[in-house]
Amino acid sequence: MLMRREWRLNSSTPATGSLVERILAGRGLHDADRIDTFCRASLLDLHDPDLLPDLSIAVELLAEAIERQTGVVIHGDYDVDGLTATALLARFLRRLDVPVEPVIPDRMTDGYGLNDTGVSKVIASGYPLLITVDCGIASFDEIRELKSKGIRIIITDHHECLAGLPEADAIVNPKRSDSRYPFRELAGVGVVLKLVQALCRRLNLGELWLQSLELAALGTVADVVPLIDENRIIVKHGLERIAAGRQLGLAVLLESLGMSGRPINTQTLGYMVSPRINAAGRLGDAGIALELLLTDDPKRAVWAADQLSKLNQDRQEMEREIVAEATRAIEQEFDFTGTDLIIVAGENWHPGVIGIVAAKLAEQYCRPVIVLSGEEEVYRGSCRTWGDYDILSAIAAAADYTVTFGGHRKAAGLVVKKEDLADFRKKINAYAATTLDLENRTPILEADALVEPGELTMDNAMALQNLAPFGESNPQPLLICRRLVLQYLRPTGNGRHLKVGLTALGVDNSLDGIAFGFGDAGDLFAPGETVDLLFSLDINEWRGQKSVQLTIRDMKPSPVQDEFIDRPWVAESLYEEQADLKELMRRFQIPIETLRPSKEEYKVVYQFIRARYSDQALLADLSLLARRISSSYQIKLNGFRLARILTVFQEADLLKMQRLGRERIRLKLRPTHSRVRLEDSPTYQRLHSEEVLS
């Protein structure tokens, strides 16, 4: 909470109309019919599955297997999309008494998708039909080998197609170049749902496919596909069925998480359910997750749910250990003043969690990160970008020194020989030197609309719920409201979160807010202070009573129409150019005391840093750090004076400081063994010279 975030207001949002109308218009929905279709999200608006390429062939092959009761192998994948797709099709076929053998690759030994191990299992099953789900579109050699054994093959996938297509009997993929399907963004489980929907129509099974919506919703949310069009419909109706407890495994898992009888939304699936199911695949035992989704035995469901929670705890502990180890290496070796990507390597870091580690480090350091895990002669890596930087293009620029790589602009994976790591690092950083812009590393929060306090009503909160389910391409609306007055700030959740009370001019009742993860921000603000908020407008229900709640994403002091206070980097930039306090006094009409630190301030700043950051680096924006120090010592320190104090400390060899943008700094205390004279610092002497006094 010591780094500012930039707020960007959607420039397409009109200034007139109801709150919901403005938000929808800002997102490109102006037509009344389109708005009605979007909000209704009716099952009647699903597209005709027969428009998918090769779907009719796939349906006939499966109908034949169903009629003859011949066995089917379903080859899925170890992530939530692949597991739910496998479970969905297996449950459907087993209801029709078709023998089914699910095959899930082991992330540790097999890797992604259909591979040699999978081929062997398909052949060993003796079943004449293979269906791939969430994979297969790039498995040319494996498909060819299976076809040579007389096995018929249906590929269902949603990944991008390569130049050609495998030699399967049917390839159902909305991203085929010859596809006539109106929506190409289905998840892997969504493609399987359409296959099952078409099968029900072919076999006169009525609405049996609706029983598959729970799993389809979970896989769709977990795969972070756009929650628009069909995906929105699938998730909306799937959530309703999940809340009703109609899928045993999910109901048991939700009960173990304390969610029985509570509202279930995409956040529940994305942040509570999916990580537990993913944990099994990440740590190499996806079979437990598959059993949870397949079983109709309550005891087995309870066992599987318990095991998944334990695996998730193991995964979290591994992440913490690797993040700590990687952070130590970065702090010791990395030069934050340059444009290099952060590349950190360790031996035998678990490959199932390094992607999450990379994401956390990218967030922590505001820079693209590559995390590499060494095993034998190679490093296997996971990459996460920062901002809008294209990490895949960066890796492609150093492709000569990779064994393999793939992904997209925000996340990628790669394999590098250990002997090539130095050259890879050199080549990719040379590319980054010309493409990575680190001038403004401020995180950006996008808001839909600027609202007045009078619009923060229960009616508007309920109306916004009609835009759910929220997710990729349909995020929960974020609003900005200015000049609210803080009544109180109260830590909650063992100090991790912050509850706030607010009032506003012209509004009779007070407003309640919750800021998750802002527990350490309480000392940055004080009751009576006027603040601007960026938040979502939600409904809180407690003991049967509903009330409006602001879920706060960010909070800033309201501008006071004083450039020196509202835009502190302006004075900082001017001083860096001229080092002239008199000029700043004239420009901002302020006394020397506003610009020159007192002796007491030198003392408290050093005490603050030594007490809290003696053994770790501090990354912060000067103005926010000054507010925290001021709160801790009951003084009024501004960012400009703090910057001068830190510069003096650096010249006195008390700390190492790096400038990372217009107001951001990174500093680390140095060990001291003798008394230091601040008066010997050139900056100190300049600040306290007679010339300045006159």
pLDDT at 694: 53
pLDDT at 673: 81
SS3 437: coil
Task: Report which secondary-structure segment, H or E, holds 40.
Answer: helix 32-40
pLDDT tens per residue, range 259-275:
988 889 999 999 999 99
User: What's phi and psi for 503, nearest 5 deg?
Assistant: -135, 165
Q: DSSP label at 402? A: -
Task: State pTM to two decimals.
Answer: 0.91
pLDDT at 366: 86
Question: Which residues of the chain fall below pLDDT 70?
Answer: 1, 439-441, 506, 690-694
Calpha distance 456→96 (Å, rounded): 52
Calpha distance 605→633 (Å, rounded): 9
Beta strands, E only, 523-661: 530-542, 545-557, 618-621, 655-659
Tokens of 631: 């709160």
CB 175 within 8 A of CB 161: yes
